[in-house]
Structure 1
Amino acid sequence: MNPEEYRKLRELEQEHWFYAGKREIVRHWINHFAPLTPEATLVDCGAGTGSFAVEMHGRCRVLAVDDHQQSLEILRRVLPPEHVREGSALALPVPDASVDCLTALDVLEHVEQDEAAIREFARVQKPGGIGVITVPALPALWSDWDVALHHFRRYRKQHLIRVLAQPGFRLEHCHYLNVAALPAIYLARKIRAWT
């Protein structure tokens, strides 16, 4: 993406109900399963434009990680530079068993070797730590948008559960977001494909 597209994405993520709602749901999950203290470490893997990391900064010790230079430039503008590191889902720049909470919000679909990424998440997770992962759902919804965003896949719930089970994660909760909108999204994508 060019710098102007990143700027637009940052604005969209700040204002659009979908992104704001997703961040609120993620915060709810974190607070429900393992409330974070100010001393807790949260790694936001694939932090992108930093919307979630910025919201969590001040509530705990946040480390925003990304492997795209444009994202890193934005992250260093919206967070203290010491809270930003270059790294990827396959090589997180943190020691073993050092993370209380890891978030990967719409990241796994960009990683060809998703199971290797999950093993890396397990490596950095403290015993009793939590991870919150969101991914695009349902291969039937695959569209040009997925291609434009360089996705390797969309997930069915069973596929994600199987991937997460590999390193022995204990799954607390897995569900689809925005289920009520799925029929309309599916129909719109099919109509677009036919035209």
Structure 2
Amino acid sequence: MDRRDKERGVHADNFWFRGKKSLIQTLLRAYVPVPGVNILNVGAGTGDDMHVIHPFGKVYATDPDEASVAMIPEQYCVEKKVADALHLPYSDGTFDIALAFDVLEHIEDDHAAIAEIRRVLKKDGLFILSVPAMPELFGAHDRALGHFRRYDQDMLRSGFVHGWENLLLKWWNTTLYPLAARKRKKDRAKKDEVEAPRLPAVIDRVFGYILQRESQAIVHSKAHRGLSLVAVFRKR
């Protein structure tokens, strides 16, 4: 979660963030062979996901926002630094795993960020990431969040043409896609602002259950569209 999310009243325990944590945990269980590896969490925000990542290795967290970095819980990371994804303060081949969940869309030159993340990965290191999907849904919500784009599969693959092997590319947040897509299209012409309504508890629980089930099945998902894309690439 970003510091600005908290300032807008977004709660880290809402259904989307719970689903995201379940997604991260599922992916790490599937792709981290042994605990204790060096993990770089790029764009860590305020570190609300760090307790999920911490059991899998030695976690290093970066974010360009100084106030957000100050809020990252120190007990869940070896180190936290103020840094953007284009200028990571680490030597070549430092990390076994790099994570960037909902980060690339905030970077104008996302291909340069991918290259920088590749630089700090070891050979055969993994880059695990998620991005918002469906470019046709881009609108006020995205602009308010500081997004430069939403992705389709070809757009995402285009940043990983040289020196990468694609291990996973799946749609996520698929069940709720029709409902969310309808609202996003309706809101496209609105001014650039993010509403943070707190859903009724029963709806939040139902939506959370849906995303948790999707997250747990992500590796074998056959979905053809969703609000996010999830990917795993191996450095070659």
Shared fold (TM-score greater than 0.5)?
Answer: yes
Cα RMSD of the aligned pairs, angstroms, is 2.2
User: 17, 31, 49: which is aligned to 2:46?
Assistant: 49
Q: Are 1:41 and 1:100, in contact at CA under 8 Å, matched by a contact in 2? A: yes
Query: What is the SS of the residue equivalent to 1:122?
Result: helix
Deviates more, 1:152-161 or 1:81-90: 81-90
CA distance in structure 2 between the partners assigned to 1:187 and 1:48 by the alignment:
29
Query: What is the SS of the residue equivalent to 2:166?
Result: coil
CA distance in structure 1 between the partners assigned to 2:188 and 2:181 by the alignment:
11
User: For residues 147-186 of structure 1, what are the alpha-carbon distances to aligned partners after superposition, in whole Å with 9 as ceiling and x for unaligned?
Assistant: 1111111000111012122x42111001110112222212
TM-score computed with the length of structure 2 as normaliser: 0.73
Q: Which amino acid aligns with 2:41?
A: D
Q: Are 1:6 and 1:70, in contact at CA under 8 Å, matched by a contact in 2? A: no
2:51 matched to 1:70?
no
User: For residues 49-98 of structure 1, what are the alpha-carbon distances to aligned partners after superposition, in whole Å with 9 as ceiling and x for unaligned?
Assistant: 102223222431100101111111112xx125851012111111111111
Q: Which position in structure 1 is the counterpart of 2:201?
A: none
Which has the bigger relative contact order, CA under 8 A and spacing at least 6?
2
User: 19, 22, 27: which is aligned to 1:21?
Assistant: 19
Q: Whose strand proportion is higher, 1 or 2?
A: 2
Q: Which position in structure 2 is the counterpart of 1:180?
A: 175
Q: Are 1:9 and 1:49, in contact at CA under 8 Å, matched by a contact in 2? A: no
CA positional deviation for 1:9: 6.9
CA distance in structure 2 between the partners assigned to 1:155 and 1:120 by the alignment:
20
Residue segments in structure 1 that go unaligned for 5+ positions in a row = none
User: 151, 154, 174: which is aligned to 1:155?
Assistant: 151
CA distance in structure 2 between the partners assigned to 1:9 and 1:19 by the alignment:
15
Q: Are 1:46 and 1:65, in contact at CA under 8 Å, matched by a contact in 2? A: yes
Query: What is the SS of the residue equivalent to 2:155?
Result: helix
CA distance in structure 2 between the partners assigned to 1:9 and 1:83 by the alignment:
27
How many residues are matched? Answer: 188
Q: Are 1:135 and 1:154, in contact at CA under 8 Å, matched by a contact in 2? A: yes
Q: Which amino acid aligns with 2:28?
A: I
Q: Whose helix proportion is higher, 1 or 2?
A: 1
User: 109, 113, 120: which is aligned to 2:109?
Assistant: 113
Q: Are 2:135 and 2:149, in contact at CA under 8 Å, matched by a contact in 1? A: yes
Q: Which amino acid aligns with 2:145?
A: L
Q: Which position in structure 2 is the counterpart of 1:12?
A: 11
